[in-house]
Amino acid sequence: MGAYILRRLLLIPLTLLGILTINFFIVQIAPGGPVEQAIAQIKGTAVDATSRLSGGGEGEVRSPSPGSSASGSGGSPSSSYRGAQGLDPAFVAQLERQFGFDKPLHERYLQMLRDYLVFDLGDSFFRGRSVFTLVLEKLPVSVSLGLWSTLLIYIISIPLGIAKAVRDGSRFDTATSWAIIIGYAIPSFLFAILLVVLFAGGSYLNWFPLRGLTSENWATLSWGGKALDYLWHMALPVLALTIGGFASLTMLTKNSFLEEINKQYVITARAKGLEEKQILYRHIFRNAMLLVIAGFPAALVSILFAGSVLIEVVFSLDGLGLLGYESVVNRDYPVIFGTLYVFTLIGLVLNLISDVTYTLVDPRIDFEARQ
């Protein structure tokens, strides 16, 4: 097992390198880079998301003053940026230097790799702050959303899977299977929009807040009030992530119990006259739940990567997902690669923890033998 863990640890840097390299070169050929965004804001033609970020404070674009460069001389700038007509070529070159685009592509790529080796994620182009600081601020929101959703999924899935296994083939089993399939078929972000329409002041009820993780008066509340306010804001986002996430875990729990129910030790326990509850919770439960519990890290990874990004956007939760989305819209390259780097690193580490947990709870699983 030690050799397997070592190989996986050695693969993490290589995987990070591959993902960052592919995304770096894809982003370079995408239209509308940060220089174009700055030019658009200077000329008042920026897109809505950029305008919202540039409303002041943290979101203000740090571009140099054009001064007399925006004179109507009609001179064509030396760059090929769209919208740069009427701007002095020297000013456009100054923008390129500010955003680091005066260097060749390979130099920017190698510099990024050197910085990331020491966790230097650079500074945001449009927020005027360190990317590492931004990630540290937003990470607790995404992690808390993922943890609450994963815990709720387990709380629902395990009892439901056990009940389905005990009543296999019954009307209850059939009805719950249909409900699970329907819930699994609905994307979490569509369900989130439905929850907003129904319960967050959309068209019907206004029971839950639409934006943010806490209320404006959160600092003045008591500890109990703060906890209730936090849960009040988290209710709809967590529910949206949970509704489609417990299908696979419920079926895994059911199949694990069905497999154990038909084994010889269960038949022997029944022959000895043990009650069904004793057999179910003292013998079957312990063996059937090993793989289900060991899959917790992998379930958390799927929540963080698959649905939390869109949920944060819908409910305006100030986490890594929303930060990454806004950075893509505004072509804030340091934030794009910084959030990608952190998300990927967390995912790789949690996947490794998941594999190790499998072997700890069930020694029959041997990943080294699979090599």
Q: SS in 3 state form for the chain?
A: CHHHHHHHHHHHHHHHHHHHHHHHHHHHCCCCCHHHHHHHHHCCCCCHHHHHHCCCHHHCCCCCCCHHHHCCCCCCCCCCCCCCCCCCHHHHHHHHHHHCCCCCHHHHHHHHHHHHHCCCCCECCCCCCEHHHHHHHHHHHHHHHHHHHHHHHHHHHHHHHHHHHHCCCCHHHHHHHHHHHHHHHCCHHHHHHHHHHHHECCCCCECCCCCCCCCCCHHHCCHHHHHHHHHHHHHHHHHHHHHCCHHHHHHHHHHHHHHHHCCHHHHHHHHCCCCHHHHHHHHHHHHHHHHHHHCHHHHHHHHHHHCHHHHHHHHCCCCHHHHHHHHHHCCCHHHHHHHHHHHHHHHHHHHHHHHHHHHHHCCCCCHHHHC
Contact criterion met (CB below 8 Å) for 250 and 157 = yes
What integer pLDDT is reported at residue 259 of this predicted model?
83
Residue pLDDT tens, the chain, 371 long: 677 788 888 888 899 999 989 988 888 777 777 767 666 666 655 444 434 433 444 444 444 444 433 333 333 334 455 555 555 567 667 666 666 777 788 888 898 888 888 888 888 887 878 889 888 888 888 888 888 888 888 888 888 988 898 888 899 999 999 988 888 888 888 888 888 888 887 678 888 887 777 788 877 888 888 889 888 888 888 888 888 777 878 888 888 888 888 788 888 888 888 887 878 877 787 777 776 777 777 677 767 666 677 888 888 888 888 888 888 888 888 888 888 888 888 888 888 887 777 777 666 666 655 55
What integer pLDDT is reported at residue 306 of this predicted model?
62
Ramachandran bin of 83, using left for φ above 0, alpha for ψ from -120 to 50, beta for the remaining angles: left
* CA–CA dist 214, 312 (Å, integer): 14
What integer pLDDT is reported at residue 363 of this predicted model?
64
Contact criterion met (CB below 8 Å) for 127 and 58 = yes
17's tokens: 């390198």
Q: Which residues contact 329 (CB under 8 A, 6 or more apart)?
A: 47, 49, 50
* CA–CA dist 248, 245 (Å, integer): 7
C-alpha closest to that of 295 among 359, 341, 340, 346:
359
C-alpha closest to that of 112 among 354, 338, 348:
338
Q: Which residues contact 58 (CB under 8 A, 6 or more apart)?
A: 127, 128, 129
In one letter, which amino acid is 342?
V
Domain locations along the chain: 2-132, 136-370
What integer pLDDT is reported at residue 96 of this predicted model?
67
What integer pLDDT is reported at residue 213 of this predicted model?
78
Contact criterion met (CB below 8 Å) for 161 and 254 = yes
Contact criterion met (CB below 8 Å) for 161 and 257 = yes
Q: Which CATH superfamily is domain 136-370 in?
A: MetI-like (1.10.3720.10)
